[in-house]
Structure 1
Amino acid sequence: MSNGEILYQQYKPLLFSIAYRMIGSVTEAEDIVQETYLTFLQLDQQAITDKKAYLCKMAANLCLDTLKSARKKRETYVGPWLPEPLITKAAATPEDKVIEQESLSVSYLFLMEKLSPAERAVFIFREVFAFNYREIASMVDKTEANCRKIFTRAKGKIDRHQTPSHLSYEKNQQVIGDFLHAFKNGDTEKVLSLVSEDVILYSDGGGVVKAALKPIETRDRVLAFLTGIAAKAPKGLQTLPQSINGQPGIIHAIGTKIYNAVSFTVYEQRIKQIFIILNPEKLNHLSCFAPIS
């Protein structure tokens, strides 16, 4: 194995976690990591003193190009735009742990859409990966002072819109499991106790499949919407518990086809947000998690 291949294996989890957080797409993040690696192999690696920073800069530049080209498409996107769901598992190595943090949640990535591409890059490098401003300035080709201003502006936007959450996987799993069981069995009193009064539901069909075009707010409206969906559920629909973006969630499948992926935000033992991803283009990479026919 060449030195370049060793470095690639060492930093692949980091590069993927940067790319995925920046663009919210599993498939595009994987493509960016691959392109970063192939380009890096063609360079004089001996002339690069800080290879980690250089790889991160290459990946970030590709992400910025992707975000700029995707901006118009996202501005005209039909309904709420949600990130592609990422199926996660227990981290096996220290490097893998970078994709098991709060900043991986669907709720957190959804907020990234409020940031410009430059704000997103600076914020992620500083807030998530704790790079210093000198390193960030080098990676995004800006001054340290400018990076500090960009970070402050970006953090202010996130803090103003962020929904409080608890990230205890086991406790959240219990709340979500109890909710699904109570909802399925028509235990209205239990359902109401597990859902916040100001809950918000987002569904992303991308104009490809039917979904709510605007967020659904308040407990009564959200539960009415979910009841309507359940009544029209396709025959043979299976509910499969999965770890989605570092938190307990579910995917629904019909045969070997993924129908949707559902993620939750839980706070004070109640569900605060529900994210339903229905756009088939955002579910293709989950086909390996469908039941075997």
Structure 2
Amino acid sequence: MTDTAIFSALRARLFATAYRMLGTRADAEDVVQDAWLRWHDSARAEVQSPEAWLVTITTRLAIDRLRARLAERASYVGWWLPEPIVELDQQTPESSAELASEVSMAFLWVLQRLSPEERAAFLMRQVFDHDYADIATMLGKSEAACRQMVHRAQERVQQQKPRFDVPKEQHHALLGRFMAAAQIGDRAAMKAMLADDVQLVADGGGKVNSYLRVLHGAGRVAGSFWSLENMYPQQVAYRQARVNGEPGLLRYVDGKLESAQAFRIEHGCIAAVFIVRNPDKLAGVPQTIF
């Protein structure tokens, strides 16, 4: 296999690694491109395992870029959510198992609470199943330190991660009913599908109006959907799509894209809503409904 073919075969995995770390498509693509340049310039004859070498380089590059991005995000207006990966066609290259696992908006939201190195160690161990010796080599730390980082990260993730996976069919059906209720501003019907302690996180980035605080409670979250329909009667439309590998919604106002929405489902109810409104993060999403 040629060097180009080796890299191409691993590219989806490298992108998935970088995207989970960074949360934006552009940054992930830049990291993968940097990894390619280093692979192209390396003494490849001395590389025993191309996969391990490339994953290590990609992880280190992603950590460096994340550290630089954290300073920018400290001044970000409101809550920062990852750039959504939206698929209208179920069969796209990014629907591969490599990217479909553990990239949900809810999961990435939890990862934001981890430091760059904790995030890398956790992903390498829990998502990609690397042993601690490999992780220690990637991060330049002892195995004991990596075990401790993974343990701390695991505790934080488990505190907010859903206890039970929801079948995609149930997830899709629930969102279909919620979309129908939101479409006509049926506040009571929406509230009935929301968990009592549901939370809504919105990301406008200071570019558009958005909630600067997390909304809590079924009444307030249902009210947020109702108020938009009330403000723009018969101008709000929804379209189902896959958002970060899970059923989600695109919302349009007067025919123009307003947001991409992801949902966490627990016990048959919507437990969390993540709404990305920052137009910079929606450039890859269809801008008009059709």
TM-score w.r.t. structure 2 length? Answer: 0.92
Contact 2:243 2:249 in 1 (8 A): yes
User: In the alignment, residue 274 of structure 1 is paired with which amino acid?
Assistant: V
Q: May I ask how many residue pairs the two structures share in their alignment?
A: 289
Aligned-residue offset at 1:190: 3.2
Q: How does 1:118-129 map to 2 (within 5 A)?
A: 118-129=117-128
Contact 2:31 2:62 in 1 (8 A): yes
Instruction: Please provide the CA RMSD for this pair.
Output: 2.4
Pair 1:244 & 2:243 matched = yes
Contact 1:183 1:191 in 2 (8 A): yes
Aligned-residue offset at 1:191: 2.5
- When residues 186 and 212 of structure 1 are mapped into structure 2, their CA distance, relative to the original with a 3 A threshold, is closer
Say which SS state the counterpart of residue 167 (structure 1) adopts.
coil
2:174 & 2:58 partners in 1: Cα distance?
A: 38
- When residues 163 and 77 of structure 1 are mapped into structure 2, their CA distance, relative to the original with a 3 A threshold, is farther
Contact 1:197 1:219 in 2 (8 A): yes
User: In the alignment, residue 14 of structure 2 is paired with which amino acid?
Assistant: L
Pair 1:210 & 2:212 matched = no
Report Cα offsets for 1:223-258 as digits up to 9, x if no partner: 112211222349855422110111111113468853
Say which SS state the counterpart of residue 265 (structure 1) adopts.
strand
User: In the alignment, residue 147 of structure 1 is paired with which amino acid?
Assistant: C
Structure 1 counterpart of 2:179: 180
Report Cα offsets for 1:108-150 as digits up to 9, x if no partner: 0001111000000000000111111111111111111111111
Say which SS state the counterpart of residue 130 (structure 1) adopts.
coil
User: In the alignment, residue 34 of structure 1 is paired with which amino acid?
Assistant: Q
- When residues 94 and 31 of structure 1 are mapped into structure 2, their CA distance, relative to the original with a 3 A threshold, is closer
- When residues 190 and 15 of structure 1 are mapped into structure 2, their CA distance, relative to the original with a 3 A threshold, is same
Contact 1:14 1:95 in 2 (8 A): no
- When residues 270 and 136 of structure 1 are mapped into structure 2, their CA distance, relative to the original with a 3 A threshold, is same
2:143 & 2:195 partners in 1: Cα distance?
A: 42
User: In the alignment, residue 231 of structure 2 is paired with which amino acid?
Assistant: K
**140-149 or 16-25, larger mean C-alpha shift:** 140-149
1:94 & 1:205 partners in 2: Cα distance?
A: 25
Aligned-residue offset at 1:169: 1.1
Aligned-residue offset at 1:159: 1.6
Alignment gaps of 5+ in structure 2: none
Identity of aligned residues (%): 29
Contact 2:85 2:244 in 1 (8 A): yes
Structure 1 counterpart of 2:194: 195
Say which SS state the counterpart of residue 110 (structure 2) adopts.
helix
Structure 1 counterpart of 2:98: 98
Structure 1 counterpart of 2:139: 140
Structure 1 counterpart of 2:26: 27
Say which SS state the counterpart of residue 206 (structure 1) adopts.
coil
Say which SS state the counterpart of residue 207 (structure 1) adopts.
coil
Structure 1 counterpart of 2:130: 131
User: In the alignment, residue 276 of structure 2 is paired with which amino acid?
Assistant: I
Aligned-residue offset at 1:195: 1.1
TM-score w.r.t. structure 1 length? Answer: 0.91
Structure 2 counterpart of 1:267: 266
1:254 & 1:191 partners in 2: Cα distance?
A: 19
- When residues 292 and 177 of structure 1 are mapped into structure 2, their CA distance, relative to the original with a 3 A threshold, is closer
Aligned-residue offset at 1:192: 3.0
2:164 & 2:276 partners in 1: Cα distance?
A: 20
1:145 & 1:105 partners in 2: Cα distance?
A: 29
**182-191 or 54-63, larger mean C-alpha shift:** 182-191
User: In the alignment, residue 37 of structure 1 is paired with which amino acid?
Assistant: W
- When residues 72 and 16 of structure 1 are mapped into structure 2, their CA distance, relative to the original with a 3 A threshold, is same
Contact 2:186 2:226 in 1 (8 A): no
User: In the alignment, residue 97 of structure 1 is paired with which amino acid?
Assistant: A
2:191 & 2:227 partners in 1: Cα distance?
A: 17
Aligned-residue offset at 1:85: 0.3
Contact 2:185 2:226 in 1 (8 A): no
1:123 & 1:112 partners in 2: Cα distance?
A: 9
Say which SS state the counterpart of residue 201 (structure 1) adopts.
strand
1:47 & 1:95 partners in 2: Cα distance?
A: 34
- When residues 131 and 281 of structure 1 are mapped into structure 2, their CA distance, relative to the original with a 3 A threshold, is same
Structure 1 counterpart of 2:4: 5
Contact 1:165 1:265 in 2 (8 A): no
Contact 2:184 2:229 in 1 (8 A): no
User: In the alignment, residue 123 of structure 1 is paired with which amino acid?
Assistant: F
